[in-house]
Structure 1
Amino acid sequence: MESVIQIGVFLFLTLLVAFLTWRKCAQAPSRGETSRDYFLANGGLSWVFIAGSITLTNLSTDQLVGMNGNQMALLALWELAAVVGLIILAKVFVPIYYKYNCTTTTELLEKRYNNHHIRATVGTLFLLGNVFIYLPTMLYGGSLFMQSMFKVDLSIMQLSVIFAVAGSAYAIFGGLRAVAVSDTYSGVGLLVMGLLVVFLALSAINFDFTGIPAERLTLIGDDNSPIPWHTLFTGMLFIQIFYWSTNQTITQRAMAAPNVKEAQKGVLSAALIRFCIVPAMVVIPGICAYKLYGKMGDATYGHLVGELMPTWLSGAFAAVMAAAVLTSFNSVLNSSAALYVCDIHEKYFNSKPDMKKLSTTVSIAFVVVALALVPVYSGTDSIINLLQQLNGLLSMPILSAFITGLLFRNVDARAVMLSVVFGTSLYAYFTFGWAPFHYIHMMFITLLSCVGVALFLNRALFRKKAEFVFTRKAQLDLSEKVA
């Protein structure tokens, strides 16, 4: 009888979110056939849906499972640093994206360098990260959670297929508007249930942290910790700038508002949610689980919830966790389709494609590749630590292209493209070969090296002298001339 109630609650809430999303989208103006209409919801997202979609796009099982799986307070630094990244997005990047009338973040590069090849190059790197890293890890993390919490008689691969099919339906048939609306409705439930898990975990240890090793409670990491304290002053800030300010999956929501002020309001609201609520959700349950059960790794969060969550609520929790997986997955899938269509297909194959048909085709292809890669990630000790480390292969080289383009003018796009290839190779060497410092430091070194190589090649190979743009006002003045 209990299992019937669990399944019933799960199905009811899942279908309720789908119905509310359909009703909200049906009330909106019909979607046009241009890439901007298709991927930016006709510029019709209000600040509420921007904040909700940004929050839930990031807050998925790879965060809840991976960060709690480390079972230490230190991982909260990722979320606190993210607040800074969101503020930079709102105050610095959003006005620039709107001045340039961008559909994708990479369109900014095309207009700054006056070269569509750099847009395609960086867009391809984003795609590689989405398809080979983000999509499969989201499917794996969500499937692992469901399996460890509910002891379901389904394999990781079978659960991944279910998530992939359901998640891609939102992205393919509803576009960005459906993704953002479902994110917001599901996000309310996830935040409420996530805070409930925090309370249940604290109650289970009687709000008493004695007996837990000090290194699991500190926010100052030593050299052997996942986040040594000194990395906060090098690569950490730039990791956040990359993820929140240049990553298509996140910024696509901010670019879909009617105007800059509405976009900024949504982004800053997401920053407030992240500061006040998310850090507790991603570390406290894991720490409490350490006291209750010892070291458990990525299975921690699912096991804890399965033990402490009242049976009558477990179906509701399963629904919001499934929604977290689906919304994060469909968000990355939708942004991946946007990158391919806008940055590659329209530039090199057909400037006026059948938008819906093309988006559907490439989305299905991305899903198939992601499913094939799920087994690759199933043997990792910590999915979140691996994810952050692999990000450096693409994040810092990509960010260097944005930094060079925004801080300098008269830089040849070919110099930047060569520096991006150099940076990816350099970080790969640091990751798989020689690693003298922590990988976050290596990210910082990679970023500086990319910018330096771009400026050197610009002068030595292409005989151009880069000019430094001193102020943000000067950047906006330049954008007005180009727009």
Structure 2
Amino acid sequence: MLQLIVFLGLTTAIALLTWWHCRSAGRRGSDAKEYFLAGGGLSWVFVAGSLTLTNINTDTLVGWNGNQMLLVLWWELFGVAGLLLLAWVFLPIYYRLGCTTVTELLERRYRSGHLRATVATLFLLGNVFVFLPVMLYTSALFLQKLFGLEMSLMTIATLTAVAGAAYAIFGGLRAVAVSDTYSGVLLFGMAALVAVLALDRVDWSWSEVPAERLTMIGGPESLVPWPILFTGMILWQIYYWSTNQTITQRALAATSLREAQKGCYAAAVIRATLVPLIVVVPGLCAYQLHGPLGDATYGTIVGEVLPTGLTGAFAAAMVAATMTSFNSTLNSSAALYVCDLHQRYFNPAAAVPRLSVTVQVLFAILGVALVPVYIGAESIIQLIQELIGVFSIPILSAFVIGLLFDDVDARAVIATLVFGAVLYWTGTAGWSQLHAANPESVPHPLHFVHVGAITLLLNSGFALLVNRWGCGRHATLHRSTRS
């Protein structure tokens, strides 16, 4: 009963604080700017909070700790570079063009609304079919393990989706960003406490953890072989932090470019200092105590080390983290659909709030319905990284080509999106299946990060060839690139 009271009390407190802040801020700007960019009124504090909590959620804590090794830290450390590139390179461009969605940049560079709509559709497919159900699954799994709940994963996921969608549907991005920040204070405080208590439980020793789990130099068969640090890992970070609508939208909602950059710097500091503590230490401590546990690791160690009186507080923090990531993804998906698809092809005068509510309800239902697809995955976080490459690398190619070259036909880039998706899938899932069927004649597949780097290079060359020989246009380096 005490746990339940603490859980409900903290969850209600975050909701009330969010409502109070949004009510006192008032409304400003047009419907689309207000609903999807908070009227351009976020301070750097809320930009940093929303950037951090949109990224750090249950799939991160459950997934990275579930690998139970130090190597996964490279993904988080490279995220610092991704945030700095967002602040230094991409945000000045987005602000100069007055973008609401990142796809507006592509429309301006290629002078094609169809390309913008195509990339928006790819973003939506990734959000709805990968990110939303994974968030719901990992949060449901964590709560089930933490409390020993007899409810099914689907029931827990549904309740979480309903609560998370309420922020995005009724409050827009302003409510999402504010709740992210308040939730972040609670989550990081509780997650850091869990890490310290876990270290105390193992007497600050990982003597029973194999050396290969404590190294930062990954071998050829590891999750993070060291060569990928010099090939494609930074590409995933550029895509995620600089061209991904769900993330970039938070920085676009700041009061100014300078304020947005300050938010990115603050988020980078958090990622370099606090995030490593909470995403690997509990997992390694759990290995010291129990050996490999997979994605059940985090819920298990939290249930063991956290005092009973704080379990409800931690549950509130984890549910808040899931809801913030879930509602962030819902809000950005609605922005992509409304601004890039519906207003362009169906009804340019559609009422933004009403249409957004309908779209987000539909996306939330689809997210819940797809949860069973991910139940039982060997490593949920590794699965996410592999899946997003199918659309992230082709999308990143479109941005890279558009920023580096002038006079590129949009049709060549649309062809490249298809080419890149097929090429990446062939080099990852397709190759793996062939190797499994013929292990002696087909060599072991390359790491998916290597495949991503190769795909980006071949994609760029393919686009320029199609542009020259298929569309009859000769691309030239952009002026800023030449200088």
Q: Please, which of 185, 189, 203 is the counterpart of residue 182 of structure 2?
A: 185
- CA deviations 1:127-182 (Å, max 9, x no partner) are 00000000000000000000011111211000000011001000000000000000
| Alpha-carbon distance between aligned partners in 2 of 1:35 and 1:383, rounded to the nearest angstrom | 34
Contact in 2 for aligned 1:31/1:38 (Cα 8 Å): no
Partner of residue 478, structure 1: none
Residue 128, structure 1, aligned to residue 117, structure 2: no
| Corresponding position: 1:429 with 2:438 | no
1-structure distance, mates of 2:198, 2:164: 30
Amino acid corresponding to residue 460 of structure 2 in structure 1: V
Partner residue in 2 for 1:464? 473
Pairing 1:370–2:367 present: yes
Distance 1:37 1:473 in 2: 38
Name the structure 2 match of 1:27.
24
C-alpha separation in 1, matches of 2:26 and 2:128 = 31
Instruction: Tell me which residue corresponds to 1:445.
Output: 454
CA distance in structure 1 between the partners assigned to 2:71 and 2:276 by the alignment? 10
Whether contact under 8 Å (1:47, 1:257) holds in the other structure is: yes
Tell me which residue corresponds to 1:330.
327
Select which of 168, 171, 194 maps to 1:174: 171
Could you tell me which of 91, 99, 102 is aligned with 2:96? Answer: 99
Instruction: Find the counterpart in structure 1 of residue 306 from structure 2.
Output: 309
Instruction: Give the residue type in structure 2 aligned to 1:464.
Output: R
> For residues 31 and 160 of structure 1, what CA distance do their matches in structure 2 show?
34
Which whole-Å CA distance do the structure 2 matches of 1:471 and 1:438 have between them?
Answer: 34
Shift of 1:469: 2.0
| Distance change (3 Å), C-alpha of 1:142 and 1:473 | farther
TM-score (norm 1): 0.96
Q: Does 1:288 align with 2:285?
A: yes
Q: Which amino acid aligns with 2:466?
A: L
Deviations 1:76-123 (A, max 9, x none): 111000000000000000000001100000011001111101100000
Shift of 1:252: 0.2
Please give the alpha-carbon distance, in whole angstroms, between the structure 1 residues aligned to 2:31 and 2:318: 34
CA distance in 2, matches of 1:438, 1:169: 39
Aligned twin of 1:151: 148
Which of these residues, 391, 394, 415, is aligned with residue 394 of structure 1?
391
The separation in 2 between residues aligned to 1:205 and 1:397, in whole angstroms, is 45
Counterpart contact for 2:31–2:353, Cα < 8 Å: no
Check conservation: 2:33, 2:39, Cα contact below 8 A. yes
Aligned to 1:202: 199
Are 2:176 and 2:328, in contact at CA under 8 Å, matched by a contact in 1? Answer: yes
Q: What is the distance in 2 between the residues matched to 1:473 and 1:257?
A: 31
Query: In structure 1, how many angstroms separate the alpha carbons of the residues matched to 2:292 and 2:262?
Result: 41
Contact 1:346 1:353 (C-alpha < 8 Å) held by counterparts: yes
Deviations 1:388-422 (A, max 9, x none): 01010011000000000001010001100100111
The sequence identity of aligned pairs, in percent, is 58
Deviation at 1:315, TM superposition (A): 0.7
- Which residue pairs with 2:442 in the alignment? none
User: Structure 1: where are the runs of 5+ without partners?
Assistant: 475-483
Size of the alignment, in residue pairs?
Answer: 471
Q: Confirm or deny that 1:233 pairs with 2:255.
A: no
Residue 211 of structure 1 corresponds to 208
**1:367 positional shift:** 0.9
TM-score, normalised to structure 2, is 0.96
Whether contact under 8 Å (1:64, 1:301) holds in the other structure is yes
SS of the residue 1:471 aligns to? helix
- Kindly state the Cα deviation for residue 211 of structure 1 after the two structures are TM-superposed: 2.3
Counterpart of 1:307, as a letter, is E
Query: Structure 2: any 5+ residue segments left out of the alignment?
Result: 433-444
Counterparts of 2:260 and 2:429 in 1: how far apart (Å)?
40
In the TM superposition, what is the alpha-carbon distance from 1:31 to its structure 2 partner?
4.8
Is the contact made by 1:104 and 1:252 (CA closer than 8 Å) also made in structure 2?
Answer: yes
Runs of 4+ in 1 over 6 A off after TM superposition: none
Q: 1:425 Cα shift?
A: 1.1
